[in-house]
Structure 1
Amino acid sequence: HPVLAGYRAFGLPLGEGFQLRDDELGVFGQPEVTGKPAGDDLREGKRTVLVALTSAALTEKDAALLHNSLGDPELSDEQVERIRELMVSSGAFAKHEQLIEQKSQAVFEALEAMNLDELVHAALTDIVGRALRRKA
């Protein structure tokens, strides 16, 4: 059905973008905003897209550091900061942001393709902003 297809085209990239942003906040989020310690996703060993992009862009030595750090519940704040630096300096963080932006563009393209009431359109636009540009 066309309505279902439209909402699917809207919802799938929205959910993917939300997860990408969530993964980013799990490493780079500010604890006073997110409510959880910075680097928690690293300590938990989450294998996210950001981690994969970083790993693929690192030297063998730095990739070993990353992989040996993942899942270490005793990872210090200094070690978390070192991994963050690797994510940024490798270009992985920028690529990750590009992925989120691509998801955002797909969401807005789907939104524009649907024939929606102005109020519904505004509400969905607000949801997109809260999901993909959030800080917590």
Structure 2
Amino acid sequence: MSATAARPRPKIDPINRGFWENARAGILSVQTCDNCRDVHFPGSPVCPRCLSGDQSWTPVSGRGTLLSWVRFHRAYWDGFRAELPYLVCLVGLEEGPLLISNILETDPEKLVIGSPVEAVFETVDEELTLPKFRMRG
């Protein structure tokens, strides 16, 4: 095992590739059905509403509402041990879908359910950029 443990990485596949390519460009996106216009996340091979296979990754505002959050005190993966404790949030995007990510707030006492948040992007390396959220004021 190396001195710095690796973090888990998302498996990029043909279904979610558009999401990760957009994130690398600093754009938050959700999957939209080209047939019925249903907006959903995470991506799927067919639309959950009409079952069409015609899907596109559509940029969204990146704005949303903090619906829930949790502060992790245990590293379920060794790669996160140095960041303990860290915050994970559930965000309801203005466009409808829900997204689970991290919230970049060092003081959890300032977090209030229903607060407005916005997406920010953390570059991990040349292949991976992670969308995260911060409080919007």
Larger RCO (CA within 8 A; separation ≥ 6): 1
TM-score by length of 2: 0.25
- Give the TM-score taking structure 1 as reference length: 0.25
Give the structure with higher Rg (CA).
1
